[in-house]
């Protein structure tokens, strides 16, 4: 007796050796995979695939779709709780973690990698008891490294840092391992008996960007800049902790040849708010606003047009900066706040100036000085390049005990 053709095909396919479900590593993100999240996930997937470790994406439908070229997806019926209060977000994050853990157990996946654990460490602690799946979590923000200001915001940051250490220690006691993007963060966590902690050099996702004289000329012509004008780029979402308002205040204290381009999504500061502040400061003619999501294919024009990148982040910022990584890898001069992660990243970069956070006077002085020494050709030789994907991928594999 022979089987029908379709049953025979299914029977034959069941005999083909495949990776056991337990060998898969779940790459988990609670966002829709926009911005750098998908690029980050893609690099993690490549690192594991190079070692023969299959992966699967778990998260909202948008995340799974963004990762479709790199890992099959297991979408969850869940959405990021944008615009909600702390309690509502934490409740939503607990639901997300519970869905992730249940999905991993149902699918036989025994290794779960939370690519962005920031914001829901306590939610994971509430929902994961240390049993399968094993958990690896990458932390991108390090409030325990911040030199908190002597004000309410500084006290809040200090408390956040202490809570972060407490939650991570509890998760470590249950068997979790961690990845971080700063050596200082690794040292601090290990000194608090939290581990294992793996150092992952933050990769430059924008390694396809090329600065050219032609792109510089085009971008500056659109903004109406003269040859002797100096353009500072403040790139990224307009969050309060990133200090684009401080950049405007500093610009008002610089020579009239200094211009500022603020580009990126609107967050805490809307376009109208920035326009009003520029007018109040009397610098509206020297401020250029491109408040929107900047697609990848426009980044070359953006970074070619500028003479330097300014990162006037506040004390409360405690993570790594994508624009900083891009600027350093392209050899663009940088003016940035003296934050521990930035100090570590810029160590050895020959065209970096660090200033005290939230000190508009020294920021203005640094901008004015940088304006006199920048390479105006827009195609300078990179300085201390940190585009080291090999070390990043090796660190990712070490998190999961994978070898090439």
In sign, the C-alpha dihedral spanning 130, 136, 139, 145 is positive
Average pLDDT for 317-322: 88
| Cα angle for residues 188, 189, 193 (degrees, 5° grid) | 115
pLDDT of residue 86: 76
Average pLDDT for 134-152: 84
The mean predicted confidence, pLDDT, of the chain is 87
Q: Which residues pair with 27 in a beta bridge?
A: 57, 113
Q: In whole angstroms, give the CA distance from residue 328 to residue 349.
A: 7
% residues pLDDT > 70 (the chain): 87
Given a cut of 70, whether residue 23 has pLDDT beyond it is: no
Q: In degrees rounded to 5, what are phi and psi of residue 115? A: -70, -25
Between β-strands 134-139 and 177-180, what pairing exists: parallel, antiparallel or unpaired?
Answer: parallel
Nearest to 56 by CA among 6, 95, 106, 16: 106
- Helix-strand-coil percent breakdown of the chain, rounded to 5? 45, 15, 40
Positions of CATH 3.40.50.2000 in the chain: 22-203+389-399, 213-373
Nearest to 200 by CA among 323, 47, 324: 47
Q: Which residues pair with 263 in a beta bridge?
A: 235, 290
Q: In whole angstroms, give the CA distance from residue 220 to residue 277.
A: 23
pLDDT of residue 18: 36
% residues pLDDT > 90 (the chain): 64
pLDDT of residue 146: 78
DSSP secondary structure letters along 33-100: S-THHHHHHHHHHHHHHHTT--EEEEEEHHHHHHTTTTS-EEEES----TT--HHHHHHHHHHHHHHH
pLDDT band at 251 (very low <50, low <70, confident <90, very high): very high
Q: In whole angstroms, give the CA distance from residue 38 to residue 310.
A: 25
Q: In whole angstroms, give the CA distance from residue 258 to residue 68.
A: 44
The class (CATH top level) of 213-373 is alpha beta
Measured from the Cβ of residue 347, the count of other Cβ atoms closer than 10 Å reads 10
pLDDT of residue 102: 96
pLDDT band at 391 (very low <50, low <70, confident <90, very high): confident
Exposure letters 101-110 (e unless 16+ CB within 10 A, then b): bebbeebebb
**Range of lowest pLDDT (55-59, 63-67, 118-122, 144-148):** 144-148
**Range of lowest pLDDT (8-12, 72-76, 342-346, 369-373):** 8-12
Does 133 sit behind a cis peptide bond, omega within 30 degrees of 0 on the bond before it?
yes
Q: Provide the whole-model pTM.
A: 0.81
Cβ(136)–Cβ(47) below 8 Å: no
pLDDT of residue 369: 94
CATH classification for the domain delimited by 22-203+389-399, as one of 3.40.50.2000, 3.30.360.10, 3.40.50.720, 3.20.20.390: 3.40.50.2000
Nearest to 124 by CA among 148, 100, 157: 100
pLDDT of residue 123: 95
pLDDT of residue 59: 97
- For 246, 267, 352, 379, 386, the CA distances from 321, given in Å and listed in that order, are 17, 16, 14, 22, 13
């Amino acid at each position: 007796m022979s089987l029908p053709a379709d049953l025979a095909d299914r029977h034959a396919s069941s005999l083909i050796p495949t990776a056991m479900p337990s060998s898969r590593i779940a790459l988990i993100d609670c966002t829709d995979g926009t911005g750098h999240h998908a690029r980050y996930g893609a690099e993690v997937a490549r690192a594991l695939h190079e070692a023969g470790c299959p992966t699967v994406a778990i998260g909202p439908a948008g995340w799974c779709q963004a990762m479709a070229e790199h890992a099959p997806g297991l979408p969850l019926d869940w959405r990021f709780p944008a615009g909600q209060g702390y309690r509502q977000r934490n409740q939503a994050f607990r639901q997300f973690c519970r869905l992730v853990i249940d999905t991993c157990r149902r699918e036989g996946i025994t290794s779960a990698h939370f690519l962005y654990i920031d914001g829901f460490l306590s939610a994971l602690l509430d929902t994961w008891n240390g049993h399968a799946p094993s958990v690896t979590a990458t932390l991108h923000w390090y409030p325990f490294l911040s030199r908190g200001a002597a004000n309410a915001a500084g006290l809040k940051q200090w408390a956040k840092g202490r809570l972060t250490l407490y939650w991570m220690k509890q998760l470590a006691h249950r068997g979790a391992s961690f990845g971080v993007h700063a050596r200082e963060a690794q040292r601090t966590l290990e000194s608090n008996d939290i581990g294992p902690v793996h150092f992952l050099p933050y990769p430059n996702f924008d390694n396809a960007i090329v600065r050219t004289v032609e792109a510089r000329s085009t971008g500056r012509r659109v903004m109406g800049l003269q040859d002797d004008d100096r353009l500072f780029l403040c790139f990224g979402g307009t969050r309060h902790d990133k200090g684009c308002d401080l950049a405007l205040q500093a610009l008002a204290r610089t020579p009239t040849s200094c211009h500022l381009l603020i580009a990126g999504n609107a967050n805490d500061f809307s376009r109208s708010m920035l326009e009003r502040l520029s007018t109040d400061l009397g610098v509206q003619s020297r401020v250029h606003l491109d408040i929107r999501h900047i697609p990848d294919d426009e980044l070359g024009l953006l970074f070619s047009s500028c003479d330097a990148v300014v990162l006037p982040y506040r004390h409360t910022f405690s993570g790594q900066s994508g624009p900083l990584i891009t600027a350093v890898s392209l050899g663009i001069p940088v003016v940035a706040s003296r934050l521990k992660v930035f100090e570590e990243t810029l160590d050895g970069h020959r065209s970096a100036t660090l200033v005290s956070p939230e000190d508009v006077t020294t920021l203005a002085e640094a901008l004015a000085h940088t304006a006199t020494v920048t390479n105006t050709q827009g195609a300078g030789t990179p300085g201390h390049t940190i585009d080291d994907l090999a070390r990043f991928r090796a660190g990712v594999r070490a998190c999961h005990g994978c070898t090439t």
